[in-house]
Structure 1
Amino acid sequence: MKILVRSLERTVTEAELLKLFQQYGTVESCALVMDAATGKSKGFAFVEMPHGREAVKAIKGLNTLRLHGTGIRVKQADDKPTAEK
């Protein structure tokens, strides 16, 4: 399951996010979205967890958690429609 993590302070690292989500189970990937021009975090990330039950527990457990002083928002990522060829 792909998870969207929003409202991240710009100082949060991928390693910190990975550690948080690993408390709930296996993490396939964890990626902060970076600004191409500045190289700094845009304040959101995507985490991929292969097991739905673990992902749901992570979403419930981490949504509104205060990280670096800010309450983060965690939810299942919406699938973007693919462009037709």
Structure 2
Amino acid sequence: MNIYVGNLNYKIDENDLREVFEEYGTVDETKIITDRETGRSKGFGFVTMPDNKEASEAVESLNGATLENRNMVVNESKPRS
């Protein structure tokens, strides 16, 4: 499952995100979206977890949870239309 993670502190990196989600299961990939010009985080990213049950548990548990003084928005990623 591909998971959207928003409202992230700009200091959060891909390893931080991986650590948080690995508490719920296997993480295949983490990606923080950055500005092309500055390289600075845009405050959101994506996590890919192969097991849908673990991923669903992570989404349910982490949506609204606090990370670095910000309440994360976590939900299943929707394909671009």
- TM > 0.5: yes
* TM-score normalised per structure 1: 0.92
* 1:66 is aligned to 2:66: yes
Distance 2:80 2:71 in 1: 25
Q: How does 1:5-84 map to 2 (within 5 A)?
A: 5-81=5-81
Specify every segment of 5 or more residues in structure 1 that has no aligned partner in the other structure, as ranges.
none
1:25-57 CA distance string (max 9 Å, x none) = 011100000101000100000000011000000
* TM-score normalised per structure 2: 0.96
Distance 1:70 1:43 in 2: 10
Deviating 4+ runs (over 2 angstroms) = none
**Is the radius of gyration larger for structure 1 or structure 2?**
1
Task: Indicate the RMSD between aligned Cα atoms, in angstroms.
Answer: 0.7
Amino-acid identity (%): 36
